[in-house]
Chain A
Amino acid sequence: MKPVPFNYFAPTSVEEALDKLAELGYDGKILAGGQSLVPAMNFRMARPGALVDLNNIPELAYIKPTSEGGLAIGTMTRDSKVEHDPKVIEMFPLLGEVMPNIAHAQIRNRGTFGGSIAHADPAGQLPAISIALDANLFIQSKSKERWVKATDFFTGPFMTVLDPDDMLVEIVLPPHLPHTGSSYQQVSRQRGGYAQAAVASVVTLDDQNRCKEARVVLISVGDTPILSARAKEILVGQKPTAEAFKEVAQAIAANEIDPATDIHATADYRRHLVEVLVERSLTIAFDRAKKGV
């Protein structure tokens, strides 16, 4: 369990990092927190020719308000920083629920917000959360820069729209509308373990207590995080009711997910879990939306 030989670069500015990535092309790989990449390298499953280490670029780690009233999070912000930032938790209670579920405290001390999104593990929480919170992702390379919606970012398991010379630089979370509530429900075998299934729901009510927006994202039951279309269809414009939540849960479990069987769980069990968790998360999220939490 030792990695194959690789080159290592430690740029001290974004510009220098982008130059290096452009120069290395497919040979280069960004090292952020290293909590997924380094084990994969030790297993020799990942064999990058060169690492471009972003840990010496302090300007990539920050949490700051945006002019629209949201938050901008620098790609190298440690998960534990996000977890313990009162402003983040106040504005996005969903992150308050999710962050403690990302592996263990030691891992969150190293793991980064941007790294987790760019890694695009279908069992990872932050890719799904970026979709649930409708994040905008700022991507830069030596030759171009662009904004991509989180919903358009993930293309497959561990695959994204990022080109080899691209860097995910910043994640912008737009502010919640009034009467928005959220809930995160996860079942994993153990505390800090991979989600066998998880659901993040962010819902908004209008003035008549009808559903205005419903973003229900499923984790660990497909190639990428899945934003449910059926939830939106069934709920938007309607009064949220237990019957509707059940209908959504059944529709999602039956049609929108593709869970796998592995040594820990059957696909049937995962499907069943999704149904249970969707119902639970919608119940709580709407309740919170009503209370204005």
Chain B
Amino acid sequence: MAGKYFGQPILRNEDAQLLSGKARFIDDIDLPGMLHAAFLRSDFAHARIKKIDYSAALKRSGVVAVYTAEDFGDFWRPGPLQVPPPTAIKGSVFNARTLVPIAKDKVRFSGEPLAVIIAESRYIAEDAFDDIIVEIEPLDAVNDLEKALEPGAPLVHEDLDSNLAADVVQERGNYEEARAKADVVISRKILVNRNAGAALENRGFVVEWEERSRQMTVWATTQAPIPLRNTIAARMGLFENQVRVITPFIGGGFGPKIMTSQADDVLLPWIAMKLKRPIKWIEDRRENFLATTSERDQVHYAEIALTKEGTILGVKDVFYHNTGAYDPYGMTVPLNTQTHTVSNYRVPNFYTQIKMVFTNQMVVTPVRGAGRPQGVFVMERLMDAAARELNMDPAEIRMKNLLIPDEFPLRTGIIGQDFVEGVLDSGNYKKNLEKTMEIVGYEKFRKEIQPKLRAEGKHVGIGIVTFTEGTAVGPYEGARVTIGANGKVNVATGISTQGQGHFTSFAQIVAEQVGIDVKDINVVTGDTAHFHWGAGTFASRGAAVAGSAIHNAAVKVREKIFSLASKIFEEPEENLEVGDGKVWVKSNPSQSMLLGDLALRANPTRGTIEPGVEPGLEATAYYGPPYGATGAGAVAMIVNLDPETMQVKVEHFVIVHDCGTAINPMILEGQVYGGISMGIGNAFYEKMVYDDNGQLLSASFMDYLMPQATDMPAKMELGHLVTTTPLNTLGIKGVGEAGAIPTPAAFVQAVEDALHGQVEIMESNLNPSRIFEYLQKKQ
């Protein structure tokens, strides 16, 4: 459905500003009289707070105020449950222990705030750390997910009987019966490691309380400006329209910026109102590592039952999920794991159980992928183990079990992160895999290239996996499209942007309807004064959900253009055409009007209007899907392993991806490539490592290795498949997390293959030293 603008690889509207250094980011905001905040954070992961004495800090020149939990009085309370558990899952247990804004009585993770210091500069605020005396009684830390549930384990939340945060069983069919009929049953313990979101820009929060107008303005790097506005207003006892949240340009989100109850979100508005001065807090990298949020840590006990021909009869997966010290984001991540474990294969019988565990670690909330990479990793590893056992080719066993288009829409029987039963709407999973094999040259590699290279002593291996990405979930988004008297268009929507290219892709959607060039369309995201209904940018939903709302609003504006022009020209609507910023009569193009002029006519300041006519060339619309759209794809990866140093190079990476209609293929490619780099990072570089005391050992970029340009595959190819979703008019599915989801599974498979199947690897993050250990153990 590509048009003049929609579907075209148009250069991004926002890039000139960004690339010339003229974009405003949060740290560029400087207000008169502004104070700076710094958080004193706990060095201990688990401890009882005896006493915090900050009297010396108050004496330091430039320190304005210091607060601990006690100083906030009744304002201190645990934050909201940002995502409640789905009530539809019968018999599930969920213990809500939401994030507290600042530690009171007890510390539950290393990096948890103990005190907030307000000073004339951030330097002075940090100097005051040394003035504060914290008396603390260290407690044993809870780290190991399985030991955490053993009787006698130290308790993260002492009002609970155990560290169990949630226990959720979902089943379709009957796994045990399927298992009894199976020729082959394979069980494995599978580990998935913990990763950071690690956006280029950390979080930030600036708040100003204007006493005379009783207005609060907040600049924040949030992915959820409207929920943040709503929670601040509620906490402060203000009306929503007394709080304006603005997101400036943001350097990446990746999930952790979705939270609305971190210390800064909660405490700084209160302090700004009390001190009557603006306050700025810019998170530093160490704080981001220690105390934002991160994700992925799971331990799976998984099992697959098959016939001897390789047909899957059933899958069982019981897994421990680390939620960290609190669970403000409900069960979103492990539910995604449940919905993605078997989603692309025909698995008639599926048993899946979440055991969500509190630990003395940073809170877990979604990070790009959000539970999906874990599910895909587990399933793909089971498929590989099965292929080995049955002496089948990894591609063959997958092809045999992939769902086919005739089976869609397919109700999965598994309730997902959007609280409703998952439905696979559309797709062509086999075609994804076929096309991937074709591009990478799978058969030729297996039959000719690999044997030849092996004979030369080279250790080359191939990994090939498939995946789905549940995207575009509800509840809804909205948008307002307005044509101005200047002939240009303003588009406002409630979600925020962290680099996804919305300023261009949303403009393309509108341009196609109103016939005004993309460059003349101004898109405003993440400013609650411009649009104040919506949920946010997460779950690969921006383009599909907000994009659909924008499309609906643009269609309404188009209708208004035709309706008004029809009256002015005294011509039926079907005789009119719109484009190049004007509307004209098809049979007589000289009879035309600029849309800016038409916009003026649509908003008369004298005279009368007909009943029911709304002013302006403006419309507001909303869109909410009944359930999410599911994207899918397949990945093949060829690696070369140095058998002496265990260094691994990705030589060739192929992804075939299907996210339905593409709004802007160039932006889409960027999203997919970015996801792949994160996937390669997750597989071979990035790892959050905690020691037994709950200390994060990887709290800087010296130790937390981000994938670099030089770590990217020597050759990368992207294939597109388009099966449109019936869930929205444009046929769009989300894509934001695609690359990150399948990559670790493909990487590990390729490494195993490079080692001639000598070792079986059931963990998602490798490094050369770890590969060396596997080989040592083998010898």
A residues within 8 Å of B by Cβ?
Answer: 1-5, 43-44, 187, 189-194, 196, 263-266, 268-270, 272-273, 276-277
Contact A269 B773 (CB under 8 A): yes
Contact B698 A187 (CB under 8 A): no
The one of A3, A190, A266, A276 that contacts B773, using a Cβ cutoff of 8 Å = A266
Query: Does B767 make an interface contact (CB < 8 A)?
Result: yes
- Chain A interface SS verdict (over half): loop
- Chain B interface SS verdict (over half): loop
Query: Does B687 make an interface contact (CB < 8 A)?
Result: yes
Interface positions of B from 561 to 608, Cβ below 8 Å from A: none
Contact B776 A268 (CB under 8 A): yes
Please indicate the chain A residues that have their CB under 8 angstroms from the CB of B773 in the complex: 266, 268-269
Contact A187 B645 (CB under 8 A): yes
Contact A192 B708 (CB under 8 A): yes
Please indicate the chain B residues that have their CB under 8 angstroms from the CB of A270 in the complex: 769
Contact A268 to B127, CB < 8 A, known contacts A190-B708, A190-B711, A191-B710:
no
Contact A2 to B122, CB < 8 A, known contacts A190-B710, A272-B772:
yes
Please indicate the chain B residues that have their CB under 8 angstroms from the CB of A272 in the complex: 772
Contact A264 B767 (CB under 8 A): yes
The distance from the CB of A34 to the nearest CB of chain B, in whole angstroms, is 16
The docked-state distance in angstroms from the alpha carbon of A73 to that of B772 is 40
The distance from the CB of B210 to the nearest CB of chain A, in whole angstroms, is 29
Contact A264 B123 (CB under 8 A): no
Contact B286 A1 (CB under 8 A): yes
Please name 15 pairs of A and B residues whose Cβ atoms are closer than 8 Å in the assembled complex, sorted by A. A1-B284, A2-B126, A5-B127, A187-B645, A189-B767, A190-B710, A191-B710, A196-B769, A263-B698, A265-B767, A265-B769, A266-B769, A269-B769, A273-B645, A277-B645
The distance from the CB of A37 to the nearest CB of chain B, in whole angstroms, is 14
In the complex, given contacts A1-B286, A269-B646, what are 17 additional A-B residue pairs having Cβ atoms less than 8 angstroms apart?
A: A2-B123, A2-B126, A5-B123, A43-B700, A44-B126, A187-B768, A189-B768, A190-B685, A190-B705, A191-B710, A191-B711, A192-B710, A193-B705, A265-B769, A269-B768, A269-B773, A273-B645
The one of A2, A43, A191, A264 that contacts B769, using a Cβ cutoff of 8 Å = A264
Closest 6 CB pairs of A and B: A265-B769, A269-B769, A191-B710, A1-B284, A276-B644, A269-B772
B646-681 vs A, Cβ < 8 Å mask (1 yes, 0 no):
110000000000000000000000000000000000
Query: Does B722 make an interface contact (CB < 8 A)?
Result: no
The docked-state distance in angstroms from the alpha carbon of A276 to that of B122 is 48
Interface residues on chain B, number (Cβ under 8 Å): 29
Please indicate the chain B residues that have their CB under 8 angstroms from the CB of A265 in the complex: 767-769
The one of A2, A187, A189 that contacts B685, using a Cβ cutoff of 8 Å = A189
Please indicate the chain A residues that have their CB under 8 angstroms from the CB of B697 in the complex: 263
- Least CB separation from A4: chain B residue: B127
Contact B705 A268 (CB under 8 A): no
Please indicate the chain A residues that have their CB under 8 angstroms from the CB of B77 in the complex: none
Please indicate the chain A residues that have their CB under 8 angstroms from the CB of B772 in the complex: 266, 268-269, 272
Contact A191 B708 (CB under 8 A): yes
The docked-state distance in angstroms from the alpha carbon of A232 to that of B127 is 52
Contact A189 to B705, CB < 8 A, known contacts A2-B122, A268-B772, A269-B769:
yes
Please indicate the chain A residues that have their CB under 8 angstroms from the CB of B767 in the complex: 189, 264-265
The distance from the CB of B53 to the nearest CB of chain A, in whole angstroms, is 21
Interface positions of B from 694 to 739, Cβ below 8 Å from A: 697-698, 700, 702-703, 705, 708, 710-711
Please indicate the chain B residues that have their CB under 8 angstroms from the CB of A189 in the complex: 685, 705, 767-768
The distance from the CB of A50 to the nearest CB of chain B, in whole angstroms, is 17
Contact A1 to B769, CB < 8 A, known contacts A187-B645, A189-B685, A193-B705:
no
The docked-state distance in angstroms from the alpha carbon of A192 to that of B711 is 11
The distance from the CB of B770 to the nearest CB of chain A, in whole angstroms, is 9
The docked-state distance in angstroms from the alpha carbon of A194 to that of B703 is 10
The docked-state distance in angstroms from the alpha carbon of A5 to that of B122 is 12
Of listed A5, A187, A192, residue having the most chain B CB within 10 A:
A187
